[in-house]
């Protein structure tokens, strides 16, 4: 019996999130169904995070134990032959003893995509949030810089477990132009539930002159006292989990 670490990519459009649920389609459910066809005897895989309904991943990490007599590459090919077209194994390796995709992680990186047009673009809508009026890139960059550091982010989301800490360390946050729009990338030691999507929403408000930089700063610095003032959330379909880091500590930048 070996312990495997796998990087998954998936299009989250047709999934009700990552975590297995009764009577709905989830990424975990599809992966576990594929593993059972390879005589997997486990009850649940572990993962680096539970992405929202409609959110995507190119770097989700999962782990499980399996009695497999072939190579890691052959395991990846076997799973890809079984998995549906919107989920794929990107890499497989043997995991160290005690490895857990979530608790062993030292940082995670998400990207969020937007495009600025008056009318919807069907070829972009699946993976990006259409924003109008147009978002000012300089204001987006100024807003992103405010997010970096150790803060009580309770105005941006909830901890995964009741009573958990809302303090997080954001190592880097920035916006970059891309072919059809703009990409936000943020890395942190961990994220609260809906934290990235709320970060994006508030930054877009700043970039549309609907929220001042001082107003955003008050939310970043205000902790739970500011929570009730936090408006809205960006839709899930622009969000992608792109990387999970193990073993190294990120530096603030």
Backbone phi and psi for residue 11, each to the nearest 5 degrees, phi listed first: -90, 115
Instruction: Give the pairing of strands 87-94 and 2-10.
Output: antiparallel
Q: Which two tokens stand for residue 117?
A: 């047009």
Only one residue has tokens 């999507």, namely 197
Active-site annotation holds for 52: yes
How far lies 115's CA from each of 32, 129, 177, 218, 231, in Å? 35, 6, 10, 27, 21
Burial of 171 (0-12, 13-18, 19+ CB in 10 A): buried
Helix, strand, or coil (residue 220)? helix
Q: How far apart (Å, rounded) are the C-alpha atoms in residues 232 and 228? A: 11
Q: Which of 11, 52, 152, 243 is catalytic?
A: 52
Q: Which residues are part of the catalytic machinery?
A: 52
């Amino acid at each position: 019996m070996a312990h495997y670490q796998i990087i998954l990519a998936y299009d989250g459009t047709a999934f009700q999130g990552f975590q297995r649920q009764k009577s709905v389609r989830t990424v975990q459910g599809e992966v576990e169904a594929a593993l059972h066809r390879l005589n997997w005897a486990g009850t649940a895989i572990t993962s680096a995070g539970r992405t929202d309904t409609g959110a995507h991943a190119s770097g989700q990490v999962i782990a499980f134990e399996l009695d497999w007599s072939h190579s890691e590459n052959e395991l990846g090919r076997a799973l890809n032959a079984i998995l549906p077209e919107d989920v794929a194994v990107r890499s497989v390796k043997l995991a160290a003893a005690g490895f857990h995709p979530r608790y062993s992680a030292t940082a995670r990186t998400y990207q969020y995509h937007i495009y600025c047009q008056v009318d919807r673009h069907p070829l972009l809508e699946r993976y990006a949030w259409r924003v109008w009026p147009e978002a000012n890139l300089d204001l987006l960059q100024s807003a992103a810089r405010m997010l970096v550091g150790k803060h009580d982010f309770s105005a941006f989301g909830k901890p995964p477990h009741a009573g958990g800490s809302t303090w997080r360390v954001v190592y880097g946050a920035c916006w970059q132009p891309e072919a059809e729009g703009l990409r936000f990338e943020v890395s942190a030691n961990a994220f609260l539930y809906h934290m990235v999507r709320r970060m994006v929403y508030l930054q877009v408000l700043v970039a549309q002159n609907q929220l001042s930089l001082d107003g955003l700063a008050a939310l970043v610095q205000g902790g739970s006292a500011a929570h009730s003032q936090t408006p809205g959330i960006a839709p899930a379909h622009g969000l992608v989990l792109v990387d999970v880091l193990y073993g190294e500590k990120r530096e603030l930048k």
